[in-house]
Chains A and B, each alone.
Chain A
Amino acid sequence: MRILNIFKRVPDTYAEINLNSDFSDINKDGLSYVIDPYGEYGMETALRMKDNNSSIELNVLTIGPENSTELLRNALALGFDNSYLIKYDNYDKLSPLVLSKLYLSFIQKFGPFDIIFVPKVDIDTNFSSICGYLAGFLNMNFLTNISSAYLDGEFIIIERETDIGKEKIRMRLPVILSHDKAPYEIRLANLKGIMASKKKPIHIINIDELNVSLENHIKRGKLKLPPQRASVKFLSSVDELIKVLKEEIKI
Chain B
Amino acid sequence: MKCIVYFETLLGEIREFSLSALEFSKLFCDEIYGFIVNSDKAKNYVKKLYVLETKNEFSRTIAQEIYKIVKSEDIKYIFFASTNKGKEIFSFLAGISNGLILEDVEGYENGYFIKAIYSNKVYAQYQVEFNGLKIIGVKPKSYKLAEPINSNTEIVEIKLDNANNEFEILEIKQKDNKEVDVTEADIVVSGGRGLSSAENYHKLLRELIEVLKEKTGLKVALGASQAVVDAGWIDHSHQVGQTGKTVSPLIYFAFGISGATQHIAGMRTSKYIIAVNKDEEAPIFKVADYGIVGDVNKIIPELIEKLKKVL
Contact = CB atoms under 8 A, between A and B. Distances in A.
Interface residues of A, number: 79
Contacts, number: 243
Interface stretch (B38-46, B69-77, B148-156, B268-276): B268-276
Identify the interface centre among A132, A224, A225: most chain B CB within 10 Å of its CB: A132
B171 interface: yes
A238 B83 CA distance: 37
A37 B242 contact: yes
A229 B289 contact: yes
A150 to B, nearest CB: 13
A113 B130 CA distance: 31
A133 B91 contact: yes
Contacts of A221: 112, 124-127
Interface string A154-170: 00010001111111111
Q: Interface SS of chain A: helix, strand, loop or mixed?
A: mixed
B278 interface: no
A144 interface: yes
A226 B118 contact: no
Given A129-B94, A219-B128, 17 more contacts: A133-B95, A136-B63, A137-B95, A141-B166, A141-B167, A161-B237, A164-B11, A170-B170, A171-B168, A217-B100, A218-B102, A218-B126, A226-B120, A229-B268, A229-B286, A232-B286, A234-B293
Interface of A: 11, 13-17, 19, 26, 37-38, 95-97, 100, 123-137, 139, 141-145, 147, 157, 161-172, 180-181, 183, 217-226, 229-230, 232-239, 241-242, 244-246, 249, 251
Interface of B: 10-11, 59-60, 63, 83-85, 87-88, 90-97, 100-104, 112, 115-130, 165-175, 181, 187, 215-216, 218, 236-237, 239, 242-244, 250-251, 260-262, 268-269, 272-275, 280, 285-293, 299, 302-303, 306-307, 310-311
